[in-house]
Structure 1
Amino acid sequence: MTFDALVLGAGIVGVSVAVHLQRRGMSVALIDRKSPGNETSFGNAGLIQREGVYPYAFARDVGTILRFAANRSTDVRYHPSAMGAFAPFLARYWYHSEASRHAAIARDYSTLVAHCVTEHRTLIAACGAQHLLRTGGWVKVFRTAAAMDAAQRDAERWRSEYDVPFERLDVQRLRDEEPSLAHTLVGGLRYTASDSVSDPGALVTAYARYFESLGGRVFTGDATTLQPHWSVQTEAGRLEGRRAVVALGPWADTVTRPLGYRFVLAVKRGYHMHYRAQPEATLNQPVLDAEHGFLITPMTRGIRLTTGVELGLRDTPPTPVQLTAVEPLARGTFALGERIDPVPWLGCRPCTPDMKPVIGPAPRHRDLWFAFGHAHHGLTLGPVTGRLIAEMMTGETPVVDPTPFGAERF
């Protein structure tokens, strides 16, 4: 079987690429070892972050670095045995996180983020998944006035530089809107232009079904069998493609490295668990505890609690100590009931040291394209990445300048 394009990876990025290519008249095969939306895209917080114009940077102040180094922080943990492998990535990450460099990165990054909500809403309408969409933003809550004031200064800068709206919620308004939250909270900031979804995995599945309705084909296969020029092994046999797109998230290196590419990539691992809410307790929107680095959000399955960052090798077995650490804090913030999931879910965010995804053609291979490295914003940037790749592949004028995201920078 021969296709115009083979898309490797059926997470939010790969599915979005496949949809946009198929909509432009290409015949597309979407290939993954699992069904769409069942790896990294399954377990995130469900946020479509219009406010996320500044990607998450490495701490530069000594106090925060020392706190992280103690390896007892609720928002960042690390595996000591992995730090040798992480050192090249962390050194470059620290370098790019300097304030002026971070601001320059934001100028590039924000061009993608500006389209995140509109591109998602377009696909959601096309596939009939409006029941999964929650509009009206999400809330970052605070336990101290100092932390809230500092976050507001950042929000005011984002509004001034990139027209990102927000509103401040004082104690009374926060209690009016979320009466089940702890009364020890001093207030919150709501990022009103952002959206969220009640089941990220189901959203990716809906996009994949839409792709199939357009004539696209989904295959179970092994991306590591990719061979120039271009073919890959699947359960249905070996597929041939005139072009190939690597959208494998944290597994991108399993394909790019054998082809001779040496990207400096790392993963930030994260966990989630679902809970029942206690009787009479309600949660209306995603809520991030800014000072402890965990998020609770209403999902189809229950209240989802997500952790911060765990620095560890991609294939290391789960070590959900962060979830154990934040669960009592989350219970003190909202009336969580019993656990629903039998074990914590673990996912890996694919990260580059300059905090920008890799989007565009492969420098040394004809008709090979890259779309990975979206870190914390894979769900946010999936559809606009799909559109950008499709426009580049078909010779259209790109929705944003793709130059800052090219693989050549490595």
Structure 2
Amino acid sequence: MAADAIVLGAGIIGVSTALQLARRGKSVVLIDRKEPGLETSYGNAGLIQREGVVPYGFPQQFGTILRYALNNRIDAHFHWKAIPSVSSFLARYWWHSNLSRHQLIARAYAPLIEHSVSTHNELIEAAGAQDLIAKQGWTEVFRTRVKHDGEIAEASRLRREYGVEFSELSAADIAAKEPNLSGDFVGGLHWQDPWSVRDPLALTRAYVKLFESLGGRVLKGDAKSLSQTKTGWRMVAGDGIVEAKDVVVALGPWSDTVTKPLGYHFLVGVKRGYHMHYAPKGNAKLNGWTMDAERGYFLAPMNQGIRLTTGAEFARRDAPKTPVQLARAEAVARETFPLGERLDKEPWMGARPCTPDMMPVIGKAPRHEGLWFAFGHAHHGLTLGPVTGQVIAEAITGEKTLIDISAYRPERFRA
């Protein structure tokens, strides 16, 4: 089978990239080892985070780091055995999270975030997936005045510098907004610009259906079979061989299965995360996407039930599940909201691909013609799928890109 482009990875980044190429008249084959949307793109809080212009940094205060070292939190957990193998990543992650460097990174990162809702909206309308979207923002609730005041001050800065909108909530406002939520909340913050997704897997598959309607093909295959030819790239997929001039690597935390054999050594860490769906007790209802800011867990009213998500687990990518954060979060969440029985047979786990400078790798490979990279989106894969797909598609087709993507170039890693 001959095509203009192969896209490796059928998560939200790869699906969006394949779709954006197909919308530009390219013949595209989307290849993954699994069905689309079943890896990292499946298990998230379902947010298109227009407010997320500042990527999650590594704590800088020594006291905070010591508290994390106790390894008993919901928002972060680590495997002691994994520390030696991830120490280089963590050291660089900490270095880039210095206040001045972090602020520079945020300015470079913001243009991607600024187009997150608009590029999703274009695909949502084309795919007829409006029923999967809630345009009500999301809420953080605070248990202490110190946390409340600090987050309100930061939100005010983001509004001044990046134009994101929010409203401050009193304890009474929270009670009115979420009458089934209980806790000693002193106040909250409602982010107004983000959209929420009621079923991230269904949204990914709606995009796949649109892609196929444009002539795109979806095949199963092993990315390790990729090889370069005189005219482009080829790999084994489906029942045969697929050849194309261009190939996009959008394999998330598994991108190294292609990049390393080709001589690229990106310093990419993995933040694993867990979720579980619950039925509400009785007539209890969660009206909106809500984060218990100090405890570090998220409650989201999904089509499958109320989804409880955890923070980050630092571990080897393929290590067995250790859902201790989920158990911790569930115990606290049950005191906050009347959760009923678990609806999943076991906790879901996914792996987020993270670069130490907190920005994705987007652009052309420096040493191979027709090879493109689109991975490393950390916590914002769902948020940045369509805009990443658009700028990669524009670069491949020779168009002017929606934004300047030089800050995300692969060459920033000395490989």
Which amino acid is 1:200 matched to?
Answer: P
Alignment partner, residue 62 of structure 1: 62
Verify the 8 A CA contact 1:270 1:308 in the aligned structure 2: yes
TM-score, structure 2 as length reference: 0.98
Alignment partner, residue 123 of structure 1: 123
Tell me the secondary structure at the aligned position of residue 157 of structure 1: helix
Tell me the secondary structure at the aligned position of residue 109 of structure 1: helix
Verify the 8 A CA contact 1:314 1:348 in the aligned structure 2: yes
Alignment partner, residue 347 of structure 2: 344
After TM superposition, the structure 1 = structure 2 runs for residues 240-389 of structure 1, keeping only pairs within 5 Å, are 240-389=243-392
Alignment partner, residue 166 of structure 1: 166
Aligned equivalents of 2:302 and 2:17: distance in 1? 26
Deviation at 1:7, TM superposition (A): 0.1
Q: Which runs of 5+ in 1 are unaligned?
A: none
Alignment partner, residue 74 of structure 2: 74
Aligned equivalents of 1:111 and 1:365: distance in 2? 27
Which amino acid is 1:191 matched to?
Answer: W
Tell me the secondary structure at the aligned position of residue 202 of structure 1: helix
Alignment partner, residue 85 of structure 1: 85
Tell me the secondary structure at the aligned position of residue 224 of structure 1: helix
Aligned equivalents of 1:270 and 1:223: distance in 2? 24
Deviation at 1:264, TM superposition (A): 0.2
Aligned equivalents of 2:205 and 2:293: distance in 1? 31
Deviation at 1:183, TM superposition (A): 4.1
TM-score, structure 1 as length reference: 0.99
Q: How many aligned positions are there?
A: 410
Which amino acid is 1:91 matched to?
Answer: A
Verify the 8 A CA contact 1:175 1:183 in the aligned structure 2: no
Does the alignment pair 1:237 with 2:247?
A: no
Which amino acid is 1:34 matched to?
Answer: K
Which amino acid is 2:338 matched to?
Answer: A
Deviation at 1:236, TM superposition (A): 2.2
Deviation at 1:280, TM superposition (A): 1.8
Aligned equivalents of 1:233 and 1:320: distance in 2? 36
Indicate the percent of aligned positions where both proteins have the same amino acid: 56
Aligned equivalents of 1:386 and 1:93: distance in 2? 26
Tell me the secondary structure at the aligned position of residue 337 of structure 1: strand
Aligned equivalents of 1:292 and 1:309: distance in 2? 13
Alignment partner, residue 38 of structure 2: 38
Alignment partner, residue 133 of structure 1: 133
Aligned equivalents of 1:183 and 1:59: distance in 2? 27
Alignment deviations for residues 75-125 of structure 1 (CA, whole Å, 9 cap, x no partner): 110000000010110111011000010000001100000000011111000
Deviation at 1:144, TM superposition (A): 1.1
Tell me the secondary structure at the aligned position of residue 41 of structure 1: coil
Verify the 8 A CA contact 1:359 1:389 in the aligned structure 2: yes
Alignment deviations for residues 136-167 of structure 1 (CA, whole Å, 9 cap, x no partner): 20001111111111111110111111001100
Aligned equivalents of 2:28 and 2:252: distance in 1? 19
Aligned equivalents of 1:59 and 1:286: distance in 2? 25
Tell me the secondary structure at the aligned position of residue 385 of structure 1: helix
Tell me the secondary structure at the aligned position of residue 262 of structure 2: coil
Aligned equivalents of 1:405 and 1:35: distance in 2? 28
Alignment deviations for residues 35-81 of structure 1 (CA, whole Å, 9 cap, x no partner): 11110000011000011000000000011100111111221100000
Q: Which moved more, 1:258-267 or 1:179-188?
A: 179-188
Verify the 8 A CA contact 1:59 1:65 in the aligned structure 2: yes
Alignment deviations for residues 312-359 of structure 1 (CA, whole Å, 9 cap, x no partner): 011001000001111110111111000000100000000000000000
Aligned equivalents of 2:63 and 2:135: distance in 1? 37
Moved >4 Å (runs of 4+): none
Q: Which runs of 5+ in 2 are unaligned?
A: none
Tell me the secondary structure at the aligned position of residue 325 of structure 1: helix
Tell me the secondary structure at the aligned position of residue 103 of structure 1: helix
Alignment partner, residue 48 of structure 2: 48
Verify the 8 A CA contact 1:108 1:404 in the aligned structure 2: yes
Which amino acid is 2:396 matched to?
Answer: M
Verify the 8 A CA contact 1:13 1:386 in the aligned structure 2: yes
